[in-house]
A = this chain, B = another copy of it.
């Protein structure tokens, strides 16, 4: 799919078909993620791919933001110790930015493969950390739920002109 088409036709998908997702496809999605830029080339992101039905059920129970029955979840995490070591005070913020940029690549790559996805920020962090057997240094930041979509929701209206200024905040025209 063309880049701009992918950017403009991606939607947040919350309900999924029962069709499983090939493991190679999930690995490809993470690979798209790691091509995002990483501040100071820190690459402190860590990805846990969940596909087993029982593990997915547990994840759903810990994540009020999940409604449907995703066939896979990618827990996008960061190594907070390494982030602080490499980035100092700014390390945590930079890790959050890096992982979010990687997430956007994953959402676009999923859409390119015909998958639906949605970013989930509302989940019980410490319980997910325990379920995924993460050491205290690895903190889950965002979950990506994935599956083949049951339909195509319409796009929420985007503000464009209202959010652009030129040179300074007082200039609406270029």
- Please provide the chain A residues from 90 to 109 with a CB less than 8 Å away from any CB of chain B in the complex: 90, 93-94, 96-98, 100-101, 103-105, 107-109
Q: Are A32 and B47 in contact (CB-based, < 8 A)?
A: no
Hey, which chain B residues are within 8 Å of A134, CB to CB?
Answer: 169
Query: A residues touching B (Cβ–Cβ < 8 Å)?
Result: 1-4, 6-8, 10, 12, 23, 26-27, 30-32, 34-37, 39, 41, 43, 45-52, 55, 90, 93-94, 96-98, 100-101, 103-105, 107-109, 112, 118-119, 121-122, 131-135, 138, 142, 156, 158-160, 163-170, 174
Closest 4 CB pairs of A and B: A100-B100, A104-B104, A101-B104, A23-B174
